Structure 1
């Protein structure tokens, strides 16, 4: 392997729980049923905001009009920013150590996230200088790249790193993310089980599943 491609929320930063809380607040305000377990993992985790909204609305039998999708997505974005500005951003220290070990070993590194706030989150976590490439929701929108589970954002990161997918590893905690890694034919897809869904991660395409990247240190 010559490159490591990391999802952000739930892999590097503990912002997945912040996203989940923001989604819950938002759907509650719109009086649309949403429970963090299992709905976050099943419908929105790892996806662009609008796609997540559409998944929930479809599951609830609600017409996903462009106006409703946009309103819900905007409100969720507002709640997420309010939460990180109030509470800050926590990282998984073992993931930070793993990233720096990979860099020291000469690996090329990229962060690949559906979030349009990747830059702000990395900056808040003091990780903005650790990656050679960044593919986020803003770039995906500009380049018209479909979000995960489509592989396009990961493939774009591999291109930016001048690395073949077969020579790169993908690190994901979301079902949509491991599915994207498998669809992109990456050399290794690592599922990180933060939510008791190891079997589902394997079923969606993870080659190996760990609970924490500390399990892969020095291996």
Structure 2
């Protein structure tokens, strides 16, 4: 089995669950504009930038918005979202996250975040996970969103690792495509398993420990 020196995690839907906060914020904006918005539409927004998300929402809008108007609504959505994030706590963590991160760190794996969110640092702070990660690559330092590999390429650069030495953990098809485009293996979790792009499919978060432990066993057997 291939050896990985680092694991790069998407944030929303992998480390924690922020869908309900995104949904509530976008719903308020859509209602104000007069656009139909439901959970099915919200699911299409996973892993893409704010502007791309808003363009998807606007598919049901009969009017026209200029760029400054779009920026106004995107900013308003983010302001609502950030206010909602103040309610985040450890109950929003995915199952087995802390124990798995502890295990990976104990095995000397570098850990990084690769997320299109511009609120990644705030979210990690709310969840008490800020000290777990060696680097954060997020919407504040990228110009292209997934499936472009930029966010993961930069994460690898920040931790001084070649992309081929990194394993990406993703819950969205766009994220898996980004990892593959960046020359990285990927572990699919949640809805992403069904798309069949993952190098590994995780049943639970702690499967990462098994994957990395098997690497160590293979290395030991070769000695």
TM class by shorter-chain length?
0.7 to 0.9
- 8 Å CA contact retained: 1:54, 1:64: no
Residues 87 and 127 (structure 1), Cα distance of their counterparts in 2 relative to 1, 3 Å cut: closer
Given that 2:111 and 2:133 are in contact with CA atoms closer than 8 Å, whether structure 1 keeps it comes out as: yes
* Consecutive unaligned residues in structure 1, runs of 5 or more: none
Query: Could you state the TM-score of these two structures normalised by the residue count of structure 2?
Result: 0.84
> Which region of structure 1 is more displaced relative to structure 2, 61-70 or 153-162?
61-70
Q: Is it true that 1:192 corresponds to 2:184 in the alignment?
A: no
Equivalent residue, structure 2, for 1:31? 34
Q: Please, what TM-score do these two structures have when normalized by structure 1?
A: 0.85
Larger radius of gyration: 2
Q: Aligned in 2, Cα 1:171/1:81: closer, same or farther, shift over 3 Å?
A: same
Contact 1:109 1:132 in 2 (8 A): yes
1: CA distance between counterparts of 2:161 and 2:84? 36
Q: Which runs of structure 2 are paired with 1:85-104 in the superposition (5 Å)?
A: 85-88=86-89, 90-104=92-106
**Cα RMSD after superposing both structures:** 2.0
Q: What is the match of residue 120 of structure 1?
A: 122
> How many corresponding residue pairs?
207
Q: Do the aligned partners of residues 197 and 39 (structure 1) sit closer, same or farther apart at CA in structure 2, a change above 3 Å counting?
A: farther
1:92-136 CA distances to partner (integer Å, 9 max, x unpaired)?
Answer: 241222222111111111011111111111111111111111111
Determine the structure 2 residue equivalent to 1:129: 131
Mapped pair 1:152 → 2:150: yes
